[in-house]
Every structure is written in C-alpha cells, then in structure tokens.
Amino acid sequence: MVRQRALKEILEFCQNADNLSSENSVEIFDVTYLCLIKCYSDKFEMCRSLACSIITEILKHLEQNDYYLSMLVPVIAKRLATQDVVEESEEMRLQLLKQLNFIIDKYKDLNTTGSVRAHSDGEDRLLKPYNDIIDILKICLMDTYPAVLKECCEIIELIAIASPSFHYRAESLAGPLFIMLKHRHSSIRIAAIKGLSTVALNIHSNADMIKRIIKEISPLVMDSIAGVRRECSRAGCLFLLKMRDRYSHFERILPLVLCCLTDEIDE
C-alpha cells in the first residue's frame, strides 16, 4: 500500500502539464527509473500498472535518445517475450504493448514522403532492440486476449514503417498470424490479414513464404463478414502495387481482387 500510494502521487505529479518539461524530465527519470523498472515485476498488478504509466508520462517529455530505448524494451521483453509468459494479467500485457507501441512511434523518423529517412550515422535506431520487439510479437500474437492480438498487429504495421530492418525477421511472424486467420472474432481476422499483408511486403527472398501467405488469405474472400472480404481485396491490391516480386505471383494475387469485384457489398 505504501508503494502504491507513492506511485499514485508520482503519477499525479507527472500527469500535471505544469510539472514536467524537457529539461526537468531527464533529472526526474534518472532519479526514479531504477525503482520504477523494479516495480514492473512487482507482485501487485496495480503497482506494475502505475509504474508503467509513470514511465510513459515521462517518456512524452524526454528527447529521443538510444539510452532510453535500449533500457526499456528489454524490460518489457522480460515480462512478455518468454514461452511461459511472466505477466499473468491480460490488462497489464495490453498496457505493456501499448507502451511498446508508443516507444516505437516516438523513435520512428519519417520524412514528408512517408519513407524512412537515414540518420546522420546511417543506422536504424530500432536495430538494437529489434530482436526483443520481434520476440515480444511472436509470443503475444498467440495470446488469448483479443485486444492484445489487435495491438500486436498495430505494432507490426508501425515497426514496418519505423524500422528499415523489419525485413530481417518479418516472416517469423507469419506462423502466429496464420492461426489468427481462423479466430472467431471478425476484427481479429481483419487484423491478421493486415499483419500478413505487411509481412508479405517485407519478405525479400522467400518466395515460398509469400505463396503460403497468399494461399492462407485466399479462403477468406468467402468469409461471411463483409469487412473480412474487403480486407482480402485490399491485401490483393497492395500486393499488385507494392510487392517486390509481384510479377511472379500475379496468378495467385489476382483472384483476391477479382473475387471481390463480384461481392454483394457495393463498396
């Protein structure tokens, strides 16, 4: 209870717009981060949640710095990227993924055309924590909590934009996404199709995996939910326009689009 009260007071302080600035947030982070990170593994869920919220609030004011990036992602990975998931709370797993989403978004560096801009040192800022991020996604894509699955698919789309290194292990995410295509919730099936589309567009050399992705998506053009069928057609259009080796796969991609041209839904 003492820890919980202290964490609540710190969170209230951080949420007050007048208290934090880019100048003092560095000092506040340096003073508190060891205690806050320790609270990520606290046995009480409320303490874990409060610590996570405080870190996110402070991060909003911190300038981009590899130090914070390489420190926080491994902490999240220790909670989520293990075969026997350490974090038992569904809500806490979702909160940690939302924090990871926020961190990736904060460190993405895009120019006005939407493509990745090279940094002065020529390096990908997300390369150091890249393996931890992919390991987190691989485990969490097999979660039983639908909101976690959706958040994972959002992170896949974001990191594909934010990191030029995404293609290194992109295809390792395909397996869990294939399972999601059979989920009873249509929103999860839609998220899985989006995720697989992103993965397929970032596979550079494995033609067999691209064939399998198209093969797994194809049956969903007959799905009973119009939104799922619509996402299949979007995937087909993306493949026709942006896939690196699309000319080798036209006979597989075209049915995704052509079937939807005869759909009963006007859209």
* pLDDT per residue as tens digits for the range 55-106: 999 999 888 777 788 889 999 999 999 888 799 999 999 999 999 999 999 8
- pTM, entire model: 0.91
114 or 176: which leads in pLDDT: 176
Helix/strand/coil (H/E/C) assignment for every residue in the chain: CHHHHHHHHHHHHHHCCCCCCCCHHHHHHHHHHHHHHHHCCCCCHHHHHHHHHHHHHHHCCCCCCHHHHHHHHHHHHHHHCCCCCCCCCHHHHHHHHHHHHHHHHHHCCECCCCCECCCCCCCCCCCCCHHHHHHHHHHHCCCCCHHHHHHHHHHHHHHHHHCCCHHHCHHHHHHHHHHHCCCCCHHHHHHHHHHHHHHHHCCCCCHHHHHHHHHHHHHHHHCCCHHHHHHHHHHHHHHHHHCCCHHHCHHHHHHHHHHHCCCCCCC
* pLDDT per residue as tens digits for the range 210-242: 999 999 999 999 999 999 999 999 999 999 999
* pLDDT per residue as tens digits for the range 111-131: 333 444 444 445 677 888 999
